[in-house]
Structure 1
Amino acid sequence: MPPQPNVERRQALADAAIEVLARSGVHGLSHRTVDERAGLPPGTTSNYFRSRDALLEAAARRVVELHEAEMRAANARSPVPPGPGDLVELIALSLYVSATEHRDRYLAIYELSLEATRRPALQETLDRMGRATLDFTVGQHRALGLPTSPEQVQTLMTLFGGALFALVTRPPADVSPETARTLARAAVTGALNDAGGTPPA
C-alpha cells in the first residue's frame, strides 16, 4: 500500500527542513523557510509540526530513517562479508557516500546535535534514536554474518560519526574513496582492538 498523503507530506517537509539546516544552519530554520524550500503555501509546515522543537525532531528522525533504509539496501546488494577486512570496505563506502551524495543530510544532523546541547527534549529524541540505531546496526551486522559485539558496534558508530564530521566539513572536492577507506580502516581497527577483537589485515 502506498504511503498516505499526510505521511508523504510530512516526509517532504522533513526533507525540506534537512536542506534548510544544511544550507542556513539551525538559526535559519523556521516554519516559513521550510514552506519556501518545499514550495508549499505559507502555514503548511506549522499545520504538521506545531512547534519548532517538533520540526527539529522530525528532521532528526528523517535522517535516521533515510540512513537505515540505505543500509538495508546496501546490505541486500552485498555478499555476506566473511571478516573484518570486508567491514572496512562496507564502512568506507558508507562514509564516502554519506560525505558526498548525502552531505547536506549529515551537515543537518550535526547542526541538530549541537542544538540538542541546548534543548533537552531534542537531546532525548537523539538519544532514543541513537539507541534504536545501535540495535538496528547490530542486527544488520548479524544478518551479514559479522561477529562484532554491541560494544564494538557502539565504538564503530562513535568513530564513524567523528570521521564523517571530518569529511562533510571539508570541501566536497577534497573527499575521496581513498580517504574514506583510510578512516574506515582506522575506525574498524580501533573498535575491534578496543573490545579485544582481531584487527583487519
Structure 2
Amino acid sequence: MAPQNTERRRVLADAAIDVLGRQGVHGLSHRAVDERSGLPAGTASNYFRSRDALLAAAMDRVADLHHAEMEAAAALETAPIGRARLIEMLGLSLLAAADRNRIRYLAVCELSLEATRRPALLETLTAMNEASVRFTCEQHRALGLDTSVEDVRTLILLYGNALFGLLTGPPERITRETALTLAKALVDGVLGPSRSEG
C-alpha cells in the first residue's frame, strides 16, 4: 500500500503541475516529478502507481488551489456585492491566473487536452468541474448574488476560454485593463448588460 504522507503527496502534486506547465504532458513522468520535487528517485511512483494517478493528483491539486483562492477572495468581502465588484473579482482572478499562476494554468490546459484521450482522466475532470460549479454557486450565494447554476456553468466555460486566450497570446496583452475588459464581457454576456447601461 502506498504511503499516506499528506505533505509529501502535496509536494509531488505541485511538482507534477510544474512539469506539466513547463514541459507539457509528454514531459510528465514519475522520474521528472521526483527530480522537480527534490525527493528521492522512486518517490512519485510509490505515491502514484500509474501515470493516470499522477495526472489525477495534479488535477485535484489544481482544484484545491483554485478553491482556496476563491475562498480567500470571498473572505475579503464584508457585504453583498454587486455587478461591478463581481466584474472586478473575475478580472483580478483572470489576471492572477494568466500572470502569477501562469504555469499552473498552462498545466490545466495540458490536463484538459489529455482528458480528451483518457477516459479515467475525463471522469476526474468532469467531477472537478461539477465540484467547481457547486463551489462557485455557494460562493455567489455567500456574496449575495443569485446567479443561476446554468449561468455559473456558462461563466466558468467562458472564463476558461478567456484564460486560454491570455495564456497562449502575447505576454504583453496580460494587463489589468485587458482582464477587466474580458470580465465585463463575460458578466454582460451571461447576465445581460447592466440596466444603467441602457
Bin of the TM-score, shorter chain as denominator length? over 0.9
Percent of residue pairs identical = 60
Whether 1:42 aligns to 2:41 is yes
Corresponding residue SS for 1:130: helix
Give the partner amino acid of 1:33.
A
Question: Shift of residue 170 of structure 1?
Answer: 2.6
1:1-201 to structure 2, matched below 5 A, reads 6-193=5-192, 201=197
Q: Deviations over 1:14-45 (max 9, x none)?
A: 00000000110000000000000001111000
Question: Shift of residue 174 of structure 1?
Answer: 2.8
Root mean square deviation, CA, Å: 1.7
Question: Shift of residue 200 of structure 1?
Answer: 7.6
**2:10, 2:196 → 1: CA distance?**
39
Q: 1:199 to 1:138 in 2, by over 3 A?
A: farther
The TM-score, its normalising length taken from structure 2, stands at: 0.94
Question: Shift of residue 81 of structure 1?
Answer: 4.2
Give the partner amino acid of 1:47.
N
Give the partner amino acid of 1:110.
C
Give the partner amino acid of 1:156.
L
Task: Figure out how many residues of one structure are paired with residues of the other and give that number.
Answer: 195
Corresponding residue SS for 1:50: coil
After alignment, is 70-79 or 47-56 more displaced? 70-79
Question: Shift of residue 63 of structure 1?
Answer: 0.3
After alignment, is 165-174 or 20-29 more displaced? 165-174
Question: Contact 1:88 / 1:181 at 8 angstroms: preserved in 2?
Answer: yes
Question: Contact 1:20 / 1:29 at 8 angstroms: preserved in 2?
Answer: yes
**2:185, 2:25 → 1: CA distance?**
31
**2:35, 2:54 → 1: CA distance?**
15
Question: Shift of residue 78 of structure 1?
Answer: 2.5
**2:159, 2:24 → 1: CA distance?**
22
Q: Deviations over 1:145-193 (max 9, x none)?
A: 0121111111100110000101111343431000000100011011113
In the alignment, structure 1 segments of 5+ residues that lack a partner are none
In the alignment, structure 2 segments of 5+ residues that lack a partner are none
Q: Deviations over 1:74-129 (max 9, x none)?
A: 11113334321211111001100111110111000110000011000000000001
Give the partner amino acid of 2:5.
N
Question: Contact 1:88 / 1:184 at 8 angstroms: preserved in 2?
Answer: yes
